[in-house]
Amino acid sequence: MATSLQKKRIVLVHPRGFNWFPGKRDITDIANRMVPQGLLSIAAYLTQKKHDVFVYDCLGPGVPANLQKQAQTILSYQPHIVGFSATTSSFPDAADLAEIIKGQSPNTITVCGGVHVSALENKLLRDYPDFDFLVAGEGEITMSEIAADINPAEIKGLIWWRKADVVANEPRPKIQDLDFLPFPAYEKLNGFPRDYHLPLFSYINTPGATMITSRGCMYQCSYCDRSVFKKGFRYNSADYIYEHMKHLREKFGVRHINIYDDLFTANRQRIVGLCEKLSRYPLGINFNCAVRVGYTDDDLLVMLKKAGCLMVSLGIESADPEMLRRHKSDVPLDVVRDTVQKIQKAGLRAKGLFIMGLPGETEESIKLTSDYIISLGLDDMNMAKFTPFPGAPLWNTIKEEGTFHEDWRLMNCLNFVFIPKDIASKERLDQLYNEHVKRFYSNKEWRKRFRNRIWQHRKSLIHLLRHLPSFWSAKNQFEPKSN
């Protein structure tokens, strides 16, 4: 196995993609600019291997939308390797940037990984020859072996060119002990944490940050792409999570953390251990987390509250039993209602997560879900626009379920690219979406809860006022349009 000890200059790129409505100002980076968590984990691991690593977040503060200008900045680092981590909607930007970089610096090695690559694998490299390598699955070790000049044939998880042929090596084994990885390299992110914003009204104190403390999932919902982390559930220990939070607090002054695990409380013992440590040795941090129905109880919720938890999210998706049976198993609606009540009884906020437009959706199922949302008395709600992704179980039959416009740039859960058979048109689905989102935020009971917390929300309100024209324009997208 031939390796090189030469230190490499590596630029890791988070491509911008398309994140809003066609023809409208993209305000997603103002409302919620998220840290590219996976990219920062790879950056930390490569730094640990003594490489010079730079992170270029194309959604970061002050970064131009123009791809030529982005490419010039990337090339100004004189990189040996440029690595992209791309979603479906940001992959076209990654491909265009790779083409520009190869055109100006042919010897620079270009690599792309992420969920889109892990789902489509070989076909992508044949269609996008400006990438030298694609990385399927977890990227930390694979990228470090590319940087060490290991023979491509010996690198697991690699998709590469052998002359004119595309070769897919055997899969990269999953990292079983996640505590083995260093904390993400937040320090390499320009403007962190000041210019990275959590969703409005989801926090009390600033600045905010995000964390992921586990990988994989034991379940397989129809719409969920598990191409990168696969089935199963691996997680950081309670001690590792506490030290990670302490690192964010002491080095960056972070006061609120959104934990984006799908199954944060699936291993009860680690969360009990974390809560006990946060209660015994407080860090002055609040956090939000998500739980799956069936993985919480009264005692655990009380512990979460005492440890500093502010809000708990529940993936509910729909209130139509047939839709749930098809797309998300083991989520009984009566248990959802009971869980919401338990969350709020413990003094925590309850946020419901829903999806509109799944296969089988009808106007009746949308109305049923909307009524159910109002009846739950939630503190917050998020309604995603269903997007079929290549690695999801329903991908292979999606064209039989309705009309699918496969435009990767629009496949970001912010646009309806799929219209179920029983919905008349995209325009009608957009209208229903706007009506029911507005219905939730117009509800008298929700507004009363919001007013009672107005002082807690003062920092979100200040941020909103600073960017009022952009937010007002966004609000108008949710005004119901007449037929």
Residue 470, pLDDT score = 66
**pLDDT for 70 beyond 90:** yes
- Residue 467 confidence (pLDDT): 74
Report the distance separating Cα 480 and Cα 483, nearest Å: 9
Do 353 and 272 lie in one domain? The reply is yes
Q: Sorting pLDDT into bands at 50, 70 and 90, what band is 20?
A: low
Tell me, what CATH number does 324's domain have?
3.80.30.20
Q: What is the pLDDT of residue 483?
A: 45
- Note whether 163 and 281 are same-domain residues: no
What pLDDT is stored for residue 18 in this prediction?
74
Same domain, 314 and 261: yes
The answer on pLDDT for 26 being more than 90 is no
217 shares a domain with 150: no
* 191 part of a folded domain: no
Per-residue pLDDT tens for 224-266? 987 777 778 999 999 999 999 999 999 999 999 999 998 899 9
Among 236, 245, 260, 314, residue whose Cα is nearest residue 34: 260
pTM (predicted TM-score): 0.93
Nearest C-alpha neighbor of 400 from the set 421, 424, 426, 425: 421
Backbone angles phi, psi at 380, to 5 degrees: -160, 165
d(CA 433, CA 436): 5
If asked whether residues 226 and 361 sit together in one domain, one would say yes
Inside any domain, residue 182: no
Mean pLDDT of 15-24: 69
List pLDDT tens digits, range 115-135. Answer: 999 999 888 999 999 999 999
Closest by CA position to 308, among listed 337, 280, 339: 280
Distance CA 54, CA 56 (A): 7
- Residue 2 is assigned to a structural domain of this protein: no
Q: Which of 60-64, 292-296, 328-332 has the lowest mean pLDDT?
A: 328-332
Task: Identify each DSSP E strand in 51-142 by its residue range.
Answer: 52-57, 81-85, 109-113, 133-135
In terms of domains, do 267 and 160 share one?
Answer: no
* Conformation bin of residue 284: beta by default, left when phi > 0, alpha when psi is -120 to 50: left
Would you say 277 and 244 are in contact if contact means Cβ atoms under 8 Å apart?
no
Report the candidate in 363, 339, 362 with the shortest Cα–Cα distance to residue 350.
339
Q: What is the share, in percent, of the chain residues with pLDDT greater than 70?
A: 93
The CATH number of whichever domain residue 50 belongs to comes to 3.40.50.280
CA distance 6 to 222: 45
Both 227 and 134 in one domain: the answer is no
Question: Is residue 179 included in any domain, yes or no?
Answer: no
Q: Which of 152, 168, 184 is the last residue of a domain?
A: 168
Name the pLDDT band for 3 (thresholds 50, 70, 90).
low
Whether residue 1 is contained in a domain is answered as: no
The predicted structure's pLDDT at residue 262: 86
Q: Are residues 211 and 137 both part of a single domain?
A: no
Could you report the per-residue pLDDT of 146-165, keeping only the tens digit for each? 999 999 999 999 999 999 89
pLDDT computed for residue 41 by the predictor: 98
- How far apart (Å, rounded) are the C-alpha atoms in residues 258 and 254? 11
What pLDDT score does 345 carry?
A: 97
| Cβ 265 vs Cβ 290: under 8 Å | no
Structural domain includes residue 25: yes
Residues belonging to the chain = 483
Domain boundary at 168, 184, 206, which? Answer: 168
The total number of structural domains in the chain stands at 2
Give exposure, 196-235, as e/b (b: 16+ Cβ within 10 Å): bbbbbbbbbebbbbbbbbbbbbebebbbbbbbbbeeebeb
In a domain, residue 436? The reply is yes
- Assess whether pLDDT exceeds 70 at residue 413: yes
Residues 241 and 282 both lie in one domain: yes
Phi, psi of 442 (to 5 degrees): -95, -10
Q: Domain span at residue 368?
A: 198-476
Task: Give the whole-angstrom CA distance, residue 482 versus residue 68.
Answer: 41
Same domain for 304 and 453?
yes
Strand pairing partners for 314? 291, 352
The pLDDT mean for the chain works out to: 92
The yes-or-no verdict on residue 1 having pLDDT over 50 is no
Whether 177 maps to a domain, the answer reads no
| DSSP-H helix ranges across 202-332 | 238-252, 268-280, 298-307, 321-327
Indicate the range of 209-213, 218-222, 478-482 predicted with least confidence: 478-482
Q: What is the mean pLDDT of residues 152-180?
A: 95
| 48 and 108 within one domain | yes
Q: Report whether pLDDT(472) > 70.
A: no
Whether 44 and 159 map to the same domain: the answer is yes
Maximum mean pLDDT: which of 1-5, 23-27, 42-46, 230-234: 42-46
Q: What is the pLDDT of residue 473?
A: 62
Percentage above 90 pLDDT, the chain: 82
Judged against a pLDDT cut of 90, whether residue 368 lies above it is answered with: yes
Among the three residues 168, 188, 221, which one is the final residue of a domain in this structure?
168
Q: Are 344 and 350 in contact, with CB atoms under 8 Å apart?
A: yes
- Dihedral in degrees, nearest 10, Cα atoms 277, 233, 124, 386: -80
Please report which confidence band the pLDDT of residue 428 belongs to, taking 50, 70 and 90 as the band edges: very high
